[in-house]
Structures are given as C-alpha cells and as structure tokens.
Amino acid sequence: MSLISTAGPHASELLKPLVALLAIINPLGIVPFFLALTEGATPAQRKRTITTCAIASFVVIALSALLGTRLLQFFSISLPSFQVGAGMLLLISAVGMLNATPTAFRSTPEEIDEAGASQSIAVVPLTVPLLTGPATISTVIVYADKSHHWAGLLVLVFYGVVAAATIALTFRAAENIAGFIGKTGINIMTRLMGLLIAALSVELMSEGLLKLFPGLGH
C-alpha cells in the first residue's frame, strides 16, 4: 500500500504535462477547420498535409522544451513572471473554448482565408497558431523549466511525439468524427477541455504569484 500511495502522486505529476498538452492542442476541436481547409484536396494531398502538420507540431513542442528556458534566460525573464503571463494566456484560451469558439491569438479570418488560397496549409494555420500556438508553447516552456534533468526534457519531447501521433490519428479520422459526433459533440468536448485548461491556468498563475509575492501565502 505504501508503494502505491507514494508512486501515485509521482505518476500523476509526470502525466500532468501530457494531459495539459493534449487539452490545449485539442485536435478534436480543430477538425472542422481541417476539413474546411482541405476541402477539395485529393486523399494523397490530405495525407501529406496530415503528415506535415504532425511533424511540424512535434518540432514546435520539442524546440520549446529544449530551448524555451534558454530563451527566457536570454531575455532575462523570470519563470514566475512567465508563469503568470502563460496562465493568463491559457485562461483566455479556456474562455474561448468554453464558448466553443477559437480565440483571437489562435487564428484570424484573414489567416484562414489566406491559408485557404495557399497550397500549403499544414504549417500555417493548422500547426501555428491553431494547434501549437502561444498557449501550447508557453505551457511546454513552464514544464521544461521544472525539469532539472535531461531525462525530464526527453519526457517532454516524447510527449511531443504522443501529441503529434494524436493529431495525425484525429485528422485521419476527421470525416468519420465529424459524421459521428457532429458539431454539437465537438463543441461539448471543446468545452470540457476548456474547463480543464481554466483550472490549469489558475494553478499556473497562483504558483507564479506566490513566487513573485511570497506574502500572499500568509
């Protein structure tokens, strides 16, 4: 019993970044955009788009995990300040998801229209900003800073592989998903993910504020 009780919290902390990452990326909520942006594409073209999107998402997550903290140090930004900013960004994202609408920093009508006219929409706007936008990057950097060993960073990179695989599988089944659960089902799932992200954002902001203002904890 003691082994289970001590291993449980450690396992939950280890999986928290993955849960947060998948909730923020929320590929299910991007299915309507994917179908709209790839409308008229051949199966081969759509497959290439999915592959490129998955690889690009992994690259963004991996670079954020490996180089994000160095970037903060370069600009002399403290982690507590970054945590508060990232928490606010996540909260804005959560509010948009609770309303089942994409937020302003994820995509704009101009970006979607421009991408629709472009031959390559896998990187912009599907990967950035729809899937791995500022909220995703900020979250990865925060968790990367908490990893004091290379093993922890490699776990985050592995989570990037899991996220990329999830994106690829979701987009491959996009038409079946849209037909099975419909827009209402996608909206419900998006709202549930938004609720989870809201809780995570409050946790990030409170942790950062307590470090910036220790007196708040008394």
- Residues 145-195 have pLDDT tens digits of 888 789 999 999 999 999 999 999 999 999 999 899 888 888 888 888 888
Domain boundaries, the chain: 17-211
pLDDT value for 128: 87
CA–CA dist 130, 36 (Å, integer): 13
Q: Determine the Cα–Cα distance for residues 169 and 130; give it in Å rounded to an integer.
A: 17
Position 4 confidence tier, pLDDT thresholds 50, 70, 90: very low
Asked whether residue 100 carries a pLDDT value surpassing 80, the answer given is: no
Which tens digit of pLDDT belongs to each residue from 104-148? 444 555 555 555 544 478 998 899 888 998 889 999 999 998 887
Which residues make Cβ contacts (< 8 Å) with residue 51, sequence separation at least 6? 168
Q: Which residue has the higher pLDDT, 108 or 79?
A: 79
Residue 172 confidence (pLDDT): 97
Q: What are the start-end ranges of the H helices in 103-173?
A: 109-117, 134-146, 150-172
Please give the model's pTM, rounded to 2 decimal places.
Answer: 0.81
pLDDT over 50 (residue 95): yes
Neighbours of 78 (CB within 10 A): 13
Identify the pLDDT of residue 92.
87
Beta carbons of 81 and 212 less than 8 angstroms apart: yes
Model confidence at 211: pLDDT above 60: yes
What is the average pLDDT across 45-49? Answer: 94
Sort 159 into a burial class: Cβ within 10 Å, 0-12 / 13-18 / 19+: buried
Residue 205: the pLDDT is 92
More confident residue, 96 or 81: 81
